[in-house]
Amino acid sequence: MIVNREDAAATATRECQVRFLCTAADHTKVRLGHTLCEKVFKPSRRRSAELGLPVPILLSQQLTPEQYAALSAFWRLEEDLIWKWAAGHNLDYEWVHDAARLALQLEKFPPHPFAFMPGYHPPEFFWESWYEGEREEDYRKRITTGFREKLGSYIQGVKLKRREFLYHRSVRSQSSHYSWAVEYVCLRLRFSEIACHTDGKTPQAIRQAVLPILKRIGILERHNLPRAKRDAPGLSS
Across 114-136, b (16+ Cβ under 10 Å) vs e yields: beeeeebbeeeeeeeeeeeeeee
Residues 231, 221: Cα–Cα separation, whole Å: 14
Instruction: Tell me if 56 sits within 8 A of 214, measured CB to CB.
Output: no
Q: Would you write out the chain's pLDDT as a tens digit for each of its 237 residues?
A: 344 567 888 888 999 999 999 999 999 999 999 999 999 999 998 888 888 877 666 555 677 777 777 777 888 899 999 999 999 999 999 999 999 999 998 778 999 999 888 888 888 888 999 999 999 999 999 999 999 999 999 899 888 887 777 655 555 568 899 999 999 999 999 999 999 988 889 999 999 999 999 999 999 876 545 443 434 333 333
Task: Using alpha carbons, select from 80, 19, 35 the residue that is nearest to residue 213.
Answer: 19
Task: Using alpha carbons, select from 71, 17, 64, 67 the residue that is nearest to residue 181.
Answer: 17
Across 179-216, b (16+ Cβ under 10 Å) vs e yields: bbbbbbbbbbbbbeebbeeeeebebeebbebbeebbeb
This prediction has a pTM of: 0.77
Instruction: Tell me if 180 sits within 8 A of 194, measured CB to CB.
Output: yes
Residue 223, CA distances (Å) to 67, 116, 147, 219 in order: 46, 31, 49, 12
